[in-house]
Structure 1
Amino acid sequence: MTVAQVELTLGHADAVAALERALLDGLDVEGCPPRSNVPVPAGELLLMPAAAGRYAGVKVAGVAPANPAAGLPRITGSYLLLDGPTLQPLALLDGAALTALRTPAVTALAVRALAAPDARHLVLFGAGPQALGHLEALRAVLPGLDRVTVVARRPGPAAELAARAAGAGLDAAVGTPGAVAGADLVVCCTTARTPLFDGALVPDRAVVAAVGSHEPQAREVDAELVGRADLFVEAREVALREAGDLMMAGAGAERLVNLAELVTGRAAVRHDRPRFFKSVGMAWQDLAVAAAQYAAVQRVAAVQRVAAG
């Protein structure tokens, strides 16, 4: 059987909509299959299977920490989309590109529900592909966002990202971790293993999202922030297994609200304390975005067949 090679062309807003549809359709995020992590000499291999509705799929991804120094992507891999009822292969997608799209889309979906209506100032930790993707995804769902402060270890990439944001019409600058004191939104897209900033500085009005790790021994935010904030996660079970930001701060399941509860309106959102969203990545997210991309390609093909007579 020939498997179609499908290019990922969905925009950020479409990816957010695909994730939202999956949750509104009743996906049980707590019952989704766990990710398999296998350590290898170059890093780790991830196997991420999922099935929902008309489709199933699996992502095989590699995380190679040394790759960026050699000019190679840190995340590699492929995604195989399957027909749900028969498990026949339908399409093959670039796994790294899929990860680069769905991760910011997950954050944007959560932040849209958590941010104050007048949120304008984003403090963005990191200057790599995920940082850029998050900037673009947040702009797609928060039209009032008009200022960004980039905080990164390396001045060159930080300045490049700030210049790119300025070119897109934002008030953009390179800053320091203390910039969180004036933030409406804080997003952490780094490989840091220790906290990036003092959680006591984060204003009550702010939303903080951390996406950089899925390891129990790594965190981007400190226990001070976790202790002050209302806590939101993709799924409680996964967070308590993989989210070092929460585990190292001693946060228990009783404090965690999952993404399905947030998106469907079952969770209350308060604005008198910080809201913290911790993402580790789940297989259902890849499936939702891959399926939306495949459906879009199929619609275009159907139109072309009709036009051809």
Structure 2
Amino acid sequence: MTAQLELTLDFPAAVAALERTLVEGLDVEACPARSNVAVPAGELLLMPAATDQYAGVKVAGVAPGNPAAGLPRITGSYLLLDGPTLRPLALLDGAALTALRTPAVTALALRALAGPDARHLVLFGAGPQALGHLEALNAVLPGLDRVTVVARRPGPAAELVARAAELGLAAAVGTPGAVAGADAVVCCTTARTPLFDGALVPDRAVVAAVGSHEPTAREVDARLVDRADLFVEAREVALREAGDLLMAGAGAERLANLAELVTRKAVVRHDRPRLFKSVGMAWQDLAVAAAQYVSARQRTGG
């Protein structure tokens, strides 16, 4: 029986695993597409990926009704395989893997896109992804010292503010208008319509929209998309799934991908907003799962 592998990597280690995968030359535009299957409870996602060393597949469930019952909205499992033989190596909690790699992807992008003196983060959402993004960005943005949480539910918002305070950050609950004073804005919600007026975002700011992977849902408006330089995980997948960009009419010619950003082939300007739109890709799960597997073997001497 394949062993269950506990996720023990921290955010800096996950960011490093993602960066290493891109620096080593992964072609993000050629990665396999995600399969989406509608089911009565919501949606099943099938996400395979492979390199020479490892292969893997995540089966994830998205159940919108779960939070009302006190259950996670995202469920699933990840199977890690040996690349040359496709022999199963380990099983990982798919929801925990998603909660680790998604903020790590954003952190990798914003480390390159944020201004060198970025201090004020405006965070939309108060669920597990919002918490993960708070902790990941605190780890990679050295000047960060203030957080404004914008969320529909007062209780979770207050908990997130308390966690920010534990990290040594000045924190408060705010309104969407807080983006006018932001250095970084991160959207981790299930919203289907824009969360704020894109005209309010300062030219110095970077915005990350990570909450949706549907062509008919968006967290940011066309006004911001029109003003901003645009960065994505991969052009191919963004033009298929990124409603924030598709609904604003953004074409491939305006998009730089994450590999180009990490390898410094993409130009980063600070005289206009930078928008990073992610939808999640299977190579990210594989990179982090493989790094966890290697870390576990090193700890145990295997």
The TM tier, using the shorter chain, reads over 0.9
Q: Quote the residue 2:177 is aligned against.
A: 178
Q: Distance in 1 between matches of 2:174 and 2:200?
A: 15
Q: Quote the residue 1:106 is aligned against.
A: 105
TM-superposed deviation, 1:86: 0.2
Kindly indicate whether residue 84 of structure 2 is the aligned counterpart of residue 85 of structure 1. yes
The Cα offsets for residues 275-295 of structure 1, whole Å up to 9 and x where unpaired, read as 000000000000000000000
TM-superposed deviation, 1:188: 0.1
Q: Distance in 1 between matches of 2:86 and 2:158?
A: 46
Is the partner of 2:143 in helix, strand or coil?
A: coil
Provide runs of 4+ in structure 1 moved above 4 Å. none
Q: Distance in 2 between matches of 1:160 and 1:283?
A: 31
Q: Distance in 1 between matches of 2:129 and 2:240?
A: 23
Is the partner of 2:9 in helix, strand or coil?
A: coil
Q: Distance in 1 between matches of 2:299 and 2:18?
A: 21
**AA matched with 2:267:** A
TM-superposed deviation, 1:79: 0.2
The Cα offsets for residues 99-156 of structure 1, whole Å up to 9 and x where unpaired, read as 0000000000000000000000000000000000000000111121110000001112
Q: Quote the residue 1:23 is aligned against.
A: 22
TM-superposed deviation, 1:157: 1.2
Q: Quote the residue 2:248 is aligned against.
A: 249
Q: Distance in 2 between matches of 1:50 and 1:160?
A: 36
**AA matched with 2:295:** A
**AA matched with 2:283:** W
TM-superposed deviation, 1:163: 1.6
Q: Quote the residue 1:270 is aligned against.
A: 269
- Unaligned runs of 5+ residues in structure 2 are none
The Cα offsets for residues 234-268 of structure 1, whole Å up to 9 and x where unpaired, read as 00010000000000000000000000000001011
Is the partner of 2:179 in helix, strand or coil?
A: helix
**AA matched with 1:242:** E
Q: Quote the residue 2:160 is aligned against.
A: 161
TM-superposed deviation, 1:53: 2.8
The 5 A counterparts of 1:147-226 are: 147-226=146-225
**AA matched with 1:49:** P
**AA matched with 2:26:** L
Q: Distance in 2 between matches of 1:161 and 1:84?
A: 39
**AA matched with 2:50:** A
TM-superposed deviation, 1:215: 0.3
TM-superposed deviation, 1:168: 2.0
Q: Distance in 2 between matches of 1:33 and 1:259?
A: 16
Is the partner of 2:81 in helix, strand or coil?
A: strand
Q: Distance in 2 between matches of 1:53 and 1:206?
A: 38
Instruction: Give me the TM-score of the superposition, normalised by structure 2.
Output: 0.99
- Unaligned runs of 5+ residues in structure 1 are none
**AA matched with 2:14:** A
Alpha-carbon RMSD across the aligned residues, in angstroms, is 0.6
Q: Distance in 2 between matches of 1:72 and 1:156?
A: 17
The Cα offsets for residues 22-43 of structure 1, whole Å up to 9 and x where unpaired, read as 0000000000000000000100
**AA matched with 1:112:** R
Kindly indicate whether residue 85 of structure 2 is the aligned counterpart of residue 74 of structure 1. no
Q: Distance in 2 between matches of 1:250 and 1:285?
A: 27
**AA matched with 1:255:** R
Q: Quote the residue 1:57 is aligned against.
A: 56
